[in-house]
Amino acid sequence: MLRAVRPLTAVQTGQSLAAKLRACECIEILRSGCHANLAADNTNRPGDFTMRSASNVWGENIMNKLALSALMIGGLFQATGCIITTDNGDEVGSFDVAWSTDGACPDGAAAEIISLDVTTQERFTDIYNCSDGAGVTAGLPLGLYDVWVEITSADGNSLFAQSNAVQGSLTRDGDLLPINVPAFPINDGYFGLTWSLLDGGGAALTCADVFSGGVDIVATSASTSEALVDVFNCEDGTGVSAKYPIDTYTIVVDVLDENDAALGSSVAREESITFGNELVDLGNFDFTF
């Protein structure tokens, strides 16, 4: 069920109705919902975007009154020789987006469908209940989009989780393109890292050169003091951890020998996972032998 959780402004269609009446121009009452320009208030959320509703969030009574007014104005125009036409000749399409979460939706949480135009970088947001699991965007200009879902508090001020993006292309007027967002965790995130082995002069070494069988990441929870460990193949040079609960962690990365004893260890540092499905990039770890 679509819902408005922030103030909206009326759709802007150019001249005022009064000006059009004075000029005996033709108008169309657009049943396309409403949109508003909003500024993001969370650094983990996209920047400025346009919020659009996929339906009339104030109810059918208001739109019925508008439609009746349009008919009355239409009769007036016909009597004076005017023909009712549309101001909006733009071709648009929509995404039919489905999502699922690993973990229950927080009470009262919203699901914001973000559609980012890859070419113009314009962002459009449609708001549903997290528990809906699906929603259709309002009409979007044709083009290539990155589409993802953010689970937020009802007021939009808190980000609980963010899905990975799926790319979709709207190519024809009236397109309705299905987008299936991969399931994503609400309460857990990930750490990602890379590593390099170097000699004293800074030249690259292979894992075989140092007899290394692997690299591990040890993440000790600030809340529980539990140490979570992931081990990667040394030769990979990169790794992403298993899911870790949202928390602050003390991170240490070790290069392991063939018996899983540490050949070298990084300096401990604190890192935090702050929302579900966040991938925290720990950067590159250099180990000198």
- Calpha distance 113→154 (Å, rounded): 14
| 242 residue type, one letter | A
Instruction: Please report the DSSP string for 196-258 in residue order.
Output: EEE-TTS-B--TGGGTEEEEEEEEEETTT-PEEEEEE-GGG-EEE---EESEEEEEEEEEEET
More confident residue, 187 or 11: 187
DSSP assigned state of 131: G
Tokens 């071709």 sit on residue: 91
CATH topology of domain 17-185: Immunoglobulin-like (2.60.40)
User: Thinking of the domain 188-288, which architecture would CATH place it in?
Assistant: Sandwich (2.60)
| 3-class SS of residue 71 | helix
Q: Are 254 and 218 in contact (CB under 8 A)?
A: yes
Q: Are 276 and 161 in contact (CB under 8 A)?
A: yes
DSSP assigned state of 76: H
Strand partners, 253: 217
Q: Are 184 and 277 in contact (CB under 8 A)?
A: yes
Q: What are 82-127's pLDDT values in tens digits? A: 333 334 458 999 999 999 999 999 999 999 999 999 999 999 999 9
| 3-class SS of residue 19 | helix
Tell me if the pTM is above 0.75.
no
Ranges for all domains in the chain classified under CATH 2.60.40.10: 17-185, 188-288
- Calpha distance 281→193 (Å, rounded): 6
Q: What are 25-71's pLDDT values in tens digits? A: 332 322 233 333 333 332 233 333 333 333 333 333 333 433 444 44
| 3-class SS of residue 149 | strand
